[in-house]
Amino acid sequence: MAKAEKDSPGPKATFVFQGTVKKLKAALMKSVPVDARTAIVHVDQVLEAPANMRHLAGTDITVQLAERAKAAAGEAFVFHAVGWIFGDSVAVRAVTQEPVQREHAPLLARGGDPVVHRADRELKDRVQDADLVVSGTVVAVKLPEGSEPQVRATRGGVDVAGKPLSEHDPKWREAIVQVADVHKGEHAADRVSVLFPSSQDVRWFKAPKFHAGQQGYFVLQKSKIKESDRVDTRTRGAAIPAEADKEVEVYTALHPEDFHPYTQPERIRASLDTKPTRGRER
């Protein structure tokens, strides 16, 4: 992936392809607003893609060109884009675009499945951004500290303390991981606590769902959340202390690439630049 796209403050590209501009100020669908940055582009080669876009090689699509990018009909670019409008055709927005140059040759020649390439890049990004990567075993899963066993009464969409109940409530759970190896970051303790959403809501269903006995690699990010948000809204006691609004720092696993079982070690190992800093590599 080009450094320009990776460092971009905007959305991360999900669809990377080589394409040739066919026509400027034009679109293939009536629902696409046309301006000076709208272009019809022929997809010469799909490099990274979600499963529903892997088939677009050899087709024409509409591209909203990157801001301040210059293009002319007949020019070939490597586009780093995100999906925009889907219908009889496809329209995407370019995060960045680069004229095809000699340094793109390895990228264009690597072949393979663009869906796999996208997943591998997402994993590398997660590992690079991670504060801690460990391998080990989940020894327990419990309600976060501070939760009470009784179920809170609800009325009119709020709990007994007056806090609105959200359909996107993550239903936090805490996994206790017995650490075998530390692959990135520093962690001296034998165990690490990981907060994860147990909810199957659309916002959370792709996040890892841990259970006792699970073994593998954990790619963890430090997150700051309110103490009150960490406690399950269905199980917290009615009395909420004033300090519940303070922020606490926790390790979280929220992305599907944040856990990899020992049975699939190749991808995670390829994303780690160093050997374990503690313990031994499996």
Where along the chain do its domains lie?
3-112, 130-271
Mean pLDDT of 150-156: 39
Expressed in angstroms, the distance from the first to the final Cα of the chain is: 29
Q: Confirm if 184 and 268 have CB atoms less than 8 A apart.
A: no
Helical H segments across 130-279, by residue range: 227-230, 265-271
CA angle 145–213–209, rounded 5-degree value: 60
**CATH 2.40.50.120 applies to domain 3-112:** yes
Do 245 and 226 contact (CB within 8 A), yes or no? yes
* pLDDT score at 4: 42
Average pLDDT of the chain is: 84
Q: Residue 87 is which amino acid?
A: G
Rg (CA), the chain: 23
Segment among 31-45, 206-220, 234-248 with least mean pLDDT: 234-248
Closest by CA to 138, choosing from 207, 225, 209, is 209
Q: Is the pLDDT of residue 225 over 90?
A: no
